[in-house]
Amino acid sequence: MRQALALSLIALFLGGCASNPADRDISGTWINQVAIDAASKGGPLREALQAYGPNLEWDVNTKASQARYTNGFENVDGKLLGEQSGAWKVDFYGSAGSELKRDGKQLSQAASENEPEQVFDRAQVQVPAGAPLGASFERALYSSYMGGSWKVINGPSAGNTVQFQADGQVAGLPGADRYALCLAGDCASMSGGNDNMWLQLNGQGNTWIFARKGKELEILQAVNTAQADEMPQFTPGERKWLLEKQ
């Protein structure tokens, strides 16, 4: 009798845990960690974003019935229509909607006619108050994909140690104090499938093409092959730097 009572109490306890509202709460910032992990293995960034994207970050507020996401090019605001069996419908004011569902520590975006199924993890990085949508993904990507110490193997200031910071600052790379990786949009369409970054010093900068192969990072000049009245089209030019991750 005591054993049966104990089992009943355990079942009641476990059932209570399973129905805990906190386990179903989808409020907060969620980032496409799968894409970051894939890129951080040392391959092309664009391939990872295309394979596991296109969306990079969700920001959800269930109390306000609001949900928005970014794909690195545009920010889209939606309205949460409510929860049914653990799934949340998101309406985008006339366009195709989405369905979000909490699966343990991850948020799943169901496949639709326009997008594949995608998975997101809670953002762990801290961003400044008022930071734009996508800042959490960007900082996590920069920290994982570009983080650590790099040595200049070939190019100006060979032997230097270069560090790319999560907030977009760079130290040790001559002629640059900030950088930004191209994630989507015009900068991607102008690069012909190549990864590119923006390097600047004191607010002035240029586009550079880069190629990541394992622990090696090549930064090449971006040659514009378009006419003066056309959208720029960049192709890889002469290599400026070869960096190796330490």
Domain with 97 in it: what CATH number?
Answer: 2.40.128
Residue 194 has pLDDT above 90, yes or no: yes
pLDDT digit string, tens, across residues 144-162 = 999 999 999 999 999 999 9
pLDDT of residue 37: 98
pLDDT at site 181: 98
Please return the burial class of 170, using the count of CB atoms within 10 Å of its CB with bins 0-12, 13-18 and 19+.
buried
- pLDDT(133) > 90: yes
Instruction: Band the pLDDT of 13: cuts 50, 70, 90.
Output: very low
Establish if 28 belongs to a structural domain: yes
Measured between alpha carbons, how far is residue 63 from residues 26, 31, 60, 158 in Å? Answer: 10, 20, 9, 54
Residue 15 has pLDDT above 70, yes or no: no
- Indicate whether 84 and 167 sit together in one domain: no
Give the three-state DSSP class for 39: helix
Residue 239 belongs to what domain range? 148-245
Give the chain's mean pLDDT: 91
In this prediction the pTM is: 0.89
Same domain flag for 228 and 119: no
Please indicate, yes or no, whether residues 155 and 104 belong to a single structural domain of this protein: no
Report d(CA 209, CA 197) in Å as an integer: 6
Q: What's the pLDDT at 94? A: 65
- Give the model's confidence band at 22: pLDDT under 50 very low, under 70 low, under 90 confident, else very high: low
Indicate whether 119 pLDDT > 90.
Answer: yes
Are 214 and 240 found together in one domain?
Answer: yes
Domains of the chain: total: 2
Domain match, 62 and 159 both: no
Domain for residue 8, yes or no? Answer: no
- Examine the domain organization and report whether 153 and 121 are in the same domain: no
Whether 10 shows a pLDDT value over 80: the answer reads no
Task: Tell whether the model's pLDDT for residue 14 goes beyond 70.
Answer: no
Q: What's the pLDDT score for residue 20?
A: 54
Amino acid at 185: G
* 31/131 same-domain check: yes
Q: Are 94 and 108 in contact (CB under 8 A)?
A: no
Domain for residue 17, yes or no? Answer: no
Work out the pLDDT band at 23, boundaries 50, 70, 90. low
